[in-house]
Amino acid sequence: MKLTKAFSFAITLAVAPLLQAASATDIPNETELKKQVSDVLGVNVLKIQSSPIDGLYQAFTDRGVLYVSPDGTKLIHGNMYDLKNGMQNLTEAALAGPRIDMLKPFEEDMLVYKAKDEKHVVTIFTDVDCGYCRKLHQEMDGYNDLGITVRYLAFPRAGIPSANAQEMEAVWCAKDPLKAMTDAKTGGNVKAASCDANIEEQYRLGQAFGINGTPAIVLENGVLVPGYQPPEALLKTIKTNI
């Protein structure tokens, strides 16, 4: 499924300058490679640059990072790890910086559960029907008590369009979205409503981040932590990644 032209353009504007600055060398046939990947996969390719492996390029797209051969005939989808550096996820490291810039235009759309003594801020892509998302939400006071502010963005796992996405839109468009989120995650019904909640754009942003399940936690430095973590464990993860 392809992005809308408007959202693809917005993502490009947000990320392209940062990716340009991060590029160590110019790719002679970058234009041709971008077109090849885009035409075959239907993704928006923002930048192609050298990867940590000689002779292999990494392509930043609106579906995450892909690896492509110099002639554009071979493609790898997956994570690259550094065996000599504690199994560092090099794919994740490449995406961390751009994620920070990509989040900024969505700050007004976030549902924020603010800690009184805020020390850390995490952004969580959530789904109202996800069991572990509900478990995480039930422990919101625990995160807040540890100084962790939680910001929600929508990631309806059923995709766009879907009844799941409509349910998420109802939460974001409710008079009291924070209460509506709690109601939805405890099995309550939220009255259908529509507004400029941009649920689809939030979902596409999650896909650009490489997210394919919920909850997905983005730390302040752009590192993505997949899956549920209880309050104390999340605080430890945050401190480990500072």
| φ, ψ of residue 85 in degrees (nearest 5) | -135, 55
Active-site residue flag, 157: yes
| Under 8 Å between Cβ of 194 and 169 | yes
DSSP at 241: T
Active-site residue flag, 133: yes
Closest CA to 115 of 236, 240, 231, 239: 231
Give the DSSP H/E element, type plus range, for residue 11: helix 5-22
Active-site residue flag, 196: no
Dig out the tokens for 84 from the structure.
């000599």
DSSP at 137: H
Catalytic residue among 63, 99, 151, 157: 157
Catalytic residue among 130, 134, 151, 173: 130
Catalytic residue among 62, 99, 127, 151: 127
Through-space distance between the first and last CA atoms of the chain, rounded to whole angstroms: 36
- Work out whether the CA dihedral 198, 221, 149, 234 comes out positive or negative: positive
Place of tokens 């394919």: 212
Going by their DSSP bridges, the two strands 81-82 and 120-126 should be labelled as: unpaired
Let me know how many helices (H) and strands (E) the chain has, helices first: 9, 11
| Under 8 Å between Cβ of 67 and 56 | yes
Active-site residue flag, 151: no
Catalytic residue among 133, 134, 173, 204: 133
- The residues that are catalytic are 127, 130, 133, 157
